[in-house]
Amino acid sequence: MTKKFAVSGQHYLFDVQSFAAVVLSLGGDAYEYALRDRTTKRVIEDVANGESEIGVLVETTRSKDGLEEAFAEAGVEFVELIESTPRVALPKSHPFVNAESLTLDQLEDFPYIYFEQEEGAPAYFAEEALADEARHKSIACTDRASLSELIVALNGYTVTSGILVGISDGSSLATVRLDTDVTLHLGYIVKKGVELSEAGKKFVEKLEGNLRKYAKF
Protein backbone atom coordinates (compact mmCIF):
# COMPACT_ATOMS: atom_id res chain seq x y z
CA MET A 1 0.00 0.00 0.00
CA THR A 2 1.33 3.44 -0.95
CA LYS A 3 2.02 5.69 2.04
CA LYS A 4 0.91 9.31 1.73
CA PHE A 5 1.79 12.38 3.78
CA ALA A 6 1.94 16.10 2.99
CA VAL A 7 3.03 19.24 4.81
CA SER A 8 2.56 22.84 3.72
CA GLY A 9 4.42 25.71 5.30
CA GLN A 10 5.64 29.23 5.04
CA HIS A 11 9.17 29.50 3.69
CA TYR A 12 11.22 27.99 6.51
CA LEU A 13 14.32 25.85 6.56
CA PHE A 14 13.61 24.08 9.85
CA ASP A 15 10.66 22.09 8.48
CA VAL A 16 12.83 20.56 5.72
CA GLN A 17 14.98 18.59 8.17
CA SER A 18 11.91 17.49 10.08
CA PHE A 19 10.21 16.30 6.90
CA ALA A 20 13.31 14.44 5.70
CA ALA A 21 13.60 12.69 9.07
CA VAL A 22 10.00 11.48 8.77
CA VAL A 23 10.60 10.10 5.27
CA LEU A 24 13.67 8.22 6.46
CA SER A 25 11.97 6.84 9.57
CA LEU A 26 8.85 5.64 7.77
CA GLY A 27 10.70 3.95 4.93
CA GLY A 28 8.58 1.74 2.68
CA ASP A 29 8.74 0.47 -0.88
CA ALA A 30 6.07 2.87 -2.15
CA TYR A 31 5.10 6.33 -0.97
CA GLU A 32 3.79 9.70 -2.13
CA TYR A 33 4.97 12.53 0.08
CA ALA A 34 4.85 16.29 -0.44
CA LEU A 35 6.51 19.30 1.22
CA ARG A 36 4.97 22.51 -0.11
CA ASP A 37 6.29 26.06 0.34
CA ARG A 38 3.21 28.28 0.31
CA THR A 39 1.94 31.74 1.05
CA THR A 40 0.08 32.01 4.34
CA LYS A 41 -3.29 31.89 2.57
CA ARG A 42 -2.34 28.72 0.69
CA VAL A 43 -1.04 27.02 3.84
CA ILE A 44 -4.41 27.56 5.50
CA GLU A 45 -6.30 26.40 2.39
CA ASP A 46 -4.13 23.28 1.98
CA VAL A 47 -4.89 22.12 5.52
CA ALA A 48 -8.56 23.11 5.38
CA ASN A 49 -9.19 21.14 2.18
CA GLY A 50 -7.09 18.14 3.19
CA GLU A 51 -4.35 18.64 0.62
CA SER A 52 -1.85 18.73 3.50
CA GLU A 53 -2.22 17.22 6.95
CA ILE A 54 -0.10 19.87 8.67
CA GLY A 55 0.66 23.53 7.98
CA VAL A 56 3.77 25.07 9.53
CA LEU A 57 3.18 28.70 10.49
CA VAL A 58 4.37 31.45 12.78
CA GLU A 59 2.11 33.81 14.71
CA THR A 60 3.35 37.04 16.27
CA THR A 61 1.86 39.16 19.01
CA ARG A 62 0.77 41.55 16.24
CA SER A 63 -0.65 38.97 13.81
CA LYS A 64 -2.22 36.57 16.31
CA ASP A 65 -5.75 38.02 16.41
CA GLY A 66 -6.09 38.24 12.62
CA LEU A 67 -4.63 34.79 12.03
CA GLU A 68 -6.78 33.15 14.70
CA GLU A 69 -9.86 34.60 13.02
CA ALA A 70 -8.72 33.25 9.65
CA PHE A 71 -8.03 29.84 11.19
CA ALA A 72 -11.50 29.70 12.75
CA GLU A 73 -13.17 30.59 9.46
CA ALA A 74 -11.21 27.83 7.69
CA GLY A 75 -11.92 25.20 10.34
CA VAL A 76 -8.30 24.75 11.39
CA GLU A 77 -6.54 25.31 14.72
CA PHE A 78 -3.06 26.48 15.66
CA VAL A 79 -0.83 24.46 17.99
CA GLU A 80 2.08 26.40 19.46
CA LEU A 81 5.37 24.57 19.93
CA ILE A 82 7.73 27.29 21.18
CA GLU A 83 8.04 31.03 21.64
CA SER A 84 10.98 32.91 20.18
CA THR A 85 12.12 36.46 19.47
CA PRO A 86 12.49 38.06 16.02
CA ARG A 87 15.98 38.26 14.62
CA VAL A 88 17.51 40.07 11.67
CA ALA A 89 19.05 37.78 9.05
CA LEU A 90 21.85 39.46 7.13
CA PRO A 91 25.04 38.53 5.26
CA LYS A 92 28.07 37.52 7.27
CA SER A 93 29.88 40.40 5.55
CA HIS A 94 27.34 42.99 6.72
CA PRO A 95 28.72 45.90 8.79
CA PHE A 96 26.18 45.17 11.56
CA VAL A 97 26.78 41.43 11.75
CA ASN A 98 28.56 41.63 15.11
CA ALA A 99 26.01 43.90 16.79
CA GLU A 100 24.35 42.60 19.95
CA SER A 101 20.98 43.88 18.74
CA LEU A 102 19.55 46.09 16.00
CA THR A 103 16.59 48.39 15.46
CA LEU A 104 14.72 48.86 12.21
CA ASP A 105 15.88 52.48 12.17
CA GLN A 106 19.49 51.31 12.01
CA LEU A 107 18.64 49.21 8.95
CA GLU A 108 16.73 51.82 6.97
CA ASP A 109 19.54 52.32 4.41
CA PHE A 110 19.66 48.61 3.57
CA PRO A 111 17.12 46.78 1.36
CA TYR A 112 14.49 44.74 3.15
CA ILE A 113 13.85 41.39 1.46
CA TYR A 114 10.58 39.62 2.18
CA PHE A 115 8.24 36.90 0.96
CA GLU A 116 5.41 38.14 -1.20
CA GLN A 117 1.83 37.26 -0.32
CA GLU A 118 -1.21 37.41 -2.61
CA GLU A 119 -2.35 40.81 -3.79
CA GLY A 120 -4.67 42.31 -1.22
CA ALA A 121 -3.61 39.90 1.54
CA PRO A 122 -4.01 41.41 5.03
CA ALA A 123 -0.88 42.57 6.84
CA TYR A 124 -1.21 39.78 9.40
CA PHE A 125 -0.58 37.19 6.65
CA ALA A 126 3.01 38.42 6.29
CA GLU A 127 5.62 35.82 7.23
CA GLU A 128 7.97 38.39 8.71
CA ALA A 129 7.45 40.02 12.09
CA LEU A 130 7.02 43.81 11.91
CA ALA A 131 6.21 43.56 8.21
CA ASP A 132 3.77 46.45 8.59
CA GLU A 133 6.57 48.89 9.46
CA ALA A 134 7.40 51.43 6.72
CA ARG A 135 10.58 50.79 4.72
CA HIS A 136 12.33 53.02 2.18
CA LYS A 137 13.78 50.06 0.27
CA SER A 138 12.01 46.72 -0.07
CA ILE A 139 12.11 43.76 -2.46
CA ALA A 140 9.52 40.98 -2.63
CA CYS A 141 10.38 37.44 -3.68
CA THR A 142 8.63 34.09 -3.65
CA ASP A 143 11.21 31.45 -2.74
CA ARG A 144 13.88 30.81 -0.11
CA ALA A 145 16.81 30.60 -2.53
CA SER A 146 16.03 33.99 -4.06
CA LEU A 147 15.60 35.59 -0.64
CA SER A 148 18.96 34.32 0.59
CA GLU A 149 20.77 35.26 -2.61
CA LEU A 150 19.28 38.76 -2.65
CA ILE A 151 20.22 39.37 0.97
CA VAL A 152 23.83 38.44 0.22
CA ALA A 153 24.08 40.17 -3.17
CA LEU A 154 22.51 43.44 -2.00
CA ASN A 155 23.77 43.51 1.59
CA GLY A 156 20.12 43.39 2.59
CA TYR A 157 18.21 41.85 5.46
CA THR A 158 15.01 40.17 6.48
CA VAL A 159 13.28 39.56 9.80
CA THR A 160 13.13 35.91 10.76
CA SER A 161 12.91 33.41 13.59
CA GLY A 162 16.69 33.10 13.43
CA ILE A 163 16.45 29.36 12.80
CA LEU A 164 18.49 28.95 9.64
CA VAL A 165 19.15 25.23 9.90
CA GLY A 166 18.29 23.24 6.82
CA ILE A 167 19.84 22.02 3.59
CA SER A 168 22.32 24.90 3.45
CA ASP A 169 22.40 25.49 7.23
CA GLY A 170 22.12 29.17 6.44
CA SER A 171 25.85 29.14 5.72
CA SER A 172 25.97 32.58 4.07
CA LEU A 173 23.78 34.33 6.65
CA ALA A 174 23.98 35.33 10.29
CA THR A 175 21.30 36.59 12.67
CA VAL A 176 21.22 39.42 15.19
CA ARG A 177 18.52 40.00 17.79
CA LEU A 178 15.94 42.61 16.78
CA ASP A 179 15.18 45.19 19.45
CA THR A 180 11.40 44.81 19.73
CA ASP A 181 8.74 43.71 22.18
CA VAL A 182 7.11 41.49 19.53
CA THR A 183 7.14 37.76 20.27
CA LEU A 184 7.06 34.87 17.78
CA HIS A 185 4.86 31.82 18.32
CA LEU A 186 6.17 28.95 16.20
CA GLY A 187 3.88 26.02 15.55
CA TYR A 188 1.51 24.38 13.11
CA ILE A 189 -2.13 24.18 12.07
CA VAL A 190 -4.29 21.10 11.66
CA LYS A 191 -7.90 20.53 10.74
CA LYS A 192 -10.16 20.82 13.78
CA GLY A 193 -11.18 17.47 15.23
CA VAL A 194 -8.75 15.44 13.11
CA GLU A 195 -6.17 13.27 14.88
CA LEU A 196 -2.66 13.27 13.48
CA SER A 197 -1.51 10.24 11.52
CA GLU A 198 1.62 8.28 12.47
CA ALA A 199 3.59 10.38 10.00
CA GLY A 200 2.06 13.57 11.34
CA LYS A 201 2.99 12.72 14.92
CA LYS A 202 6.55 11.90 13.91
CA PHE A 203 6.82 15.16 12.00
CA VAL A 204 5.57 17.27 14.90
CA GLU A 205 7.98 15.50 17.28
CA LYS A 206 10.92 16.19 14.96
CA LEU A 207 9.77 19.75 14.29
CA GLU A 208 9.51 20.61 17.97
CA GLY A 209 12.91 19.05 18.60
CA ASN A 210 14.53 21.13 15.87
CA LEU A 211 12.84 24.32 17.04
CA ARG A 212 13.98 23.84 20.62
CA LYS A 213 17.49 22.91 19.49
CA TYR A 214 18.10 25.81 17.12
CA ALA A 215 15.90 28.67 18.37
CA LYS A 216 17.76 31.79 19.47
CA PHE A 217 16.40 34.22 22.03
- Tell me, yes or no, if the pTM score tops 0.85: yes
84-178: same fold as 3-83+183-214? yes
pLDDT tens digits along 84-141: 999 999 999 999 999 999 999 999 999 999 999 999 899 999 999 988 888 999 999 9
Domain spans, the chain: 3-83+183-214, 84-178
d(CA 58, CA 184): 7
Residue 106 DSSP symbol? G
For 84-178, CATH number out of 3.90.1150.10, 3.60.15.10, 1.10.10.10, 3.40.190.290 equals 3.40.190.290
Instruction: Classify domain 3-83+183-214 at the CATH superfamily level.
Output: Periplasmic binding protein-like II (3.40.190.10)
Instruction: For 38-109, list the strands marked E by DSSP.
Output: 54-60, 76-84, 87-91, 101-102
> What local confidence, expressed as pLDDT, does residue 166 receive?
47
Span 151-193, pLDDT tens digits: 999 999 999 886 765 444 456 889 999 999 999 999 999 999 9
> For residues 84 and 191, what is the distance between their CA atoms, to the nearest angstrom?
24
Question: Letter for the amino acid at 105?
Answer: D
The DSSP result for 116-174, as a single string, is: ---TT--GGG-SSTTTTS--SSEEEESSHHHHHHHHHHHT-BEEE-S---SSSTTTTEE
CA-CA distances (angstroms) from residue 217 to 114, 171, 208, 214? 21, 20, 16, 10
How far apart are alpha carbons 94 and 154 in whole angstroms? 10
Residue 73's H or E segment, with its range, is helix 64-74
